[in-house]
Amino acid sequence: MNLRNQALAEGHLLITDAIRRTPAGIAMIEGWIIHQSEQTEAGLQRKVDCEIPFVALGDICQKLITTTANQKVKCKGFLAARSSKYRQSLVLHITAFEYLN
């Protein structure tokens, strides 16, 4: 069974750490996508202001690390549990991104 798990978020990146390496030696960074928008829900406008935790590995990590503080990005990826211990805490694993401004 292969269920879909895709997420798309736009915002500014706040990278919270320097590049680290996984136990397998893959480059990785973590941070937050700072998101603000207005969305329609049940016919009403709703203001959305949130911080989405993310992780990026490999080539995506190497490209994202050069992002400047005010650079707006659109990130695509999938959601996963932060760890097997914290299954209700989700993190966006970025698999692709593009600059918006």
| Domain coordinates in residue numbering, the chain | 7-99
Q: How far from 15 is each of 2, 40, 41, 67, CA to CA, in Å?
A: 31, 29, 30, 9
pLDDT in tens, 27-41: 999 999 999 999 999
pTM value is 0.88
Residue 87 has pLDDT above 90, yes or no: no
pLDDT of residue 69: 75
pLDDT of residue 1: 67
Q: Does domain 7-99 match CATH 3.30.800.10?
A: no
pLDDT in tens, 9-25: 999 998 888 899 999 99
At 72, the pLDDT band (50, 70, 90 cuts) reads very high
How far is Cα 76 from Cα 8, in angstroms, rounded to an integer? 5
